[in-house]
Amino acid sequence: MQFLKASKLLIKNTIIYTIGTFGAKVLVFALLPVFSFYLTKDDLGIYDLVMTTVSMLVPFVTLQISNGAYRWLLGVNDSQLTDENCKIITSSFVMISIGLLLFVAVYSLFSVFYEFKYTVYLMLLVITSSYLPYFQILLRGVKKTKLFTVSGLTNAFLLASLNVLFLLKFDLGIKGLFIATILSNTVTILLVLFKGRILKYIKINKFSQKTLKEMLSFSIPLVPNMLSWWLVNSADKYLIFYFLNSEMNGLYAISSRFPTIIILVNSIFILAWQDHMITDKGNSKERTEFDSKIFKIYMNFEFSMVFVLIAISELTVRYLIADEFYESYRYMPLLYIGGAFSAFSGYFGAAFIREKRTKVIFTSSIIGGIVNLLICFLLIEYIGLFASALGTLVSFIIMFFIRIYQSSSFFKINIDYNRLFCLVIIALLYAIIVLLRIKFINEFLIFISLLLFFYLNKRILSKMFLKMKQIRIK
């Protein structure tokens, strides 16, 4: 009974986050072909480096306080305007604002000595990219999931519309992309603040050093963890830029954008999974049974999705992307498999958050990041962009197994390693076949992949379909 109840809640939350996150990101992902036709490899490479730098700076500026606020709000488990909620939100807001003020001061001083063409854009991107996820995660914390969904869709619609407008109509190039991101983030922040009435929770007299200190003890260890994730996902782009050139970085930017489909799906489930992990009150035996079943379902879904994506990788690039980026499909299969292991690492990561053991989680991430950089550094001159893709895959595999070991004392689940091994071998065989570019075999591969997807996920797909017919977002 407990398993059934937890399953229904997890499916419901996953659907809610799917509408707000996946639907939103798909709109942005649809712009990828537009970018490839209206930007050169060089421009796309520079744009990707700037956005990569922003993703690296945000955790340092915010000290990941949004995660602390979210964890504490769920701990309170009360969405009303209580003193405790006001303390949490006010204290975290003051912290993130001070962090951004310090960043602006330091970055402005740095800009005096080092001239960068996109200085103002980078500063505004960091500010809006810090505040937006912070306010959105507060919505989740105070149980306003419907508005969280609306804010995600709004941000994506604005970003997609403004990108097209500035790129196609006004021909602003990558400047237009930066402006579109800044404006869409700003408008969405205002929507969340006023529609979600977040400002009523911010009362300076409710600022609490004690609460802030407790949240920071939780969130600060996540900063190096985010840095290590950045090392795994993005740092190799600087090596590509240094050892090869910005054009090759632009090519790899296209390769790495397609596997974000997996990251999107992962992030949707992980949002619901974190909610479940933090609020679940079942006993140890019930938890183990439920968590093991969910992981098996998750593993089947991830790899069945990987099979399909690998099979259609050459096809999607050929018909959706400009010809000069055609070779990007060659590196996607390894990145897709790496994305699956990234998902599994995130699954175990939720257990560390529940136990408030964020310091431990850093170890696996930093080892993974170092492995990625070493493989890329040692092999990039010999095998080119394959070095970066291989480094990403190996680092996520290592991270996954380290987290299994690290969490063994407090997160016990049964993993079918035989099934996992078979799924990895099939995915690698798919990758090799796609690289051979034999038309008839590739088409057959797509057909088999689709059959496998529906066969491996028939139960969960039928349950989600029924739930979508019944769900009422409150």
pLDDT of residue 429: 94
Q: Among 8-12, 82-86, 350-354, where is mean pLDDT lowest? A: 8-12
Q: Among 5-14, 66-75, 150-159, 307-316, where is mean pLDDT lowest? A: 5-14
pLDDT of residue 473: 46
Percent of the chain topping pLDDT 70? 82
Q: Which of 246-250, 311-315, 406-410, 462-466 has the highest mean pLDDT?
A: 311-315
Helices of type H across 280-325: 284-320
Q: What is the mean pLDDT of residues 244-269?
A: 78
Q: Which residue has the higher pLDDT, 145 or 312?
A: 312
Percent of the chain topping pLDDT 90? 37
pLDDT of residue 107: 93
pLDDT at 346 over 60: yes
DSSP states of 52-84:
HHHHHHHHHHHTTHHHHHHHHHHHHT--S--HH
The number of beta carbons lying within 10 Å of the beta carbon of residue 261 is 18
Of residues 47, 26, 254, the one with CA closest to residue 155:
26
pLDDT at 471 over 70: no
pLDDT of residue 144: 87
Q: How far apart are CA 255 and CA 297, in angstroms?
A: 27
Q: How far apart are CA 441 and CA 448, in angstroms?
A: 10
pLDDT of residue 7: 54
pLDDT of residue 441: 85
Of residues 454, 453, 432, 452, the one with CA closest to residue 441:
432
CB 64 within 8 Å of CB 295: no
Mean of per-residue pLDDT scores for the chain: 83
Largest Cα–Cα distance of the chain, in whole Å?
69
Each residue's pLDDT tens digit, 212-227: 999 998 888 777 666 6
Each residue's pLDDT tens digit, 34-74: 777 888 888 888 888 888 889 889 999 999 999 889 888 87
pLDDT of residue 474: 46
Domains in the chain: boundaries: 2-470
The C-alpha angle with vertex 66 and arms to 16 and 234, in degrees rounded to 5, equals 85
Of residues 263, 264, 23, the one with CA closest to residue 156:
23
pLDDT of residue 27: 60
Q: Which residue has the higher pLDDT, 236 or 177?
A: 177
pLDDT at 159 over 80: yes
Q: Among 52-56, 138-142, 159-163, 408-412, where is mean pLDDT lowest? A: 408-412
Q: What is the mean pLDDT of residues 168-180?
A: 92
DSSP states of 92-155:
HHHHHHHHHHHHHHHHHHHHHHS--TTHHHHHHHHHHHHHHHHHHHHHHHTT-HHHHHHHHHHH
pLDDT at 95 over 70: yes
Q: What is the mean pLDDT of residues 181-195?
A: 95
Q: Is the pTM of this model over 0.75?
A: no
Of residues 55, 43, 35, 36, the one with CA closest to residue 245:
43
pLDDT of residue 215: 93
pLDDT at 468 over 70: no
Rg (CA), the chain: 22
pLDDT at 184 over 60: yes
Residue 24 phi, psi (nearest 5): -65, -50
pLDDT of residue 281: 58
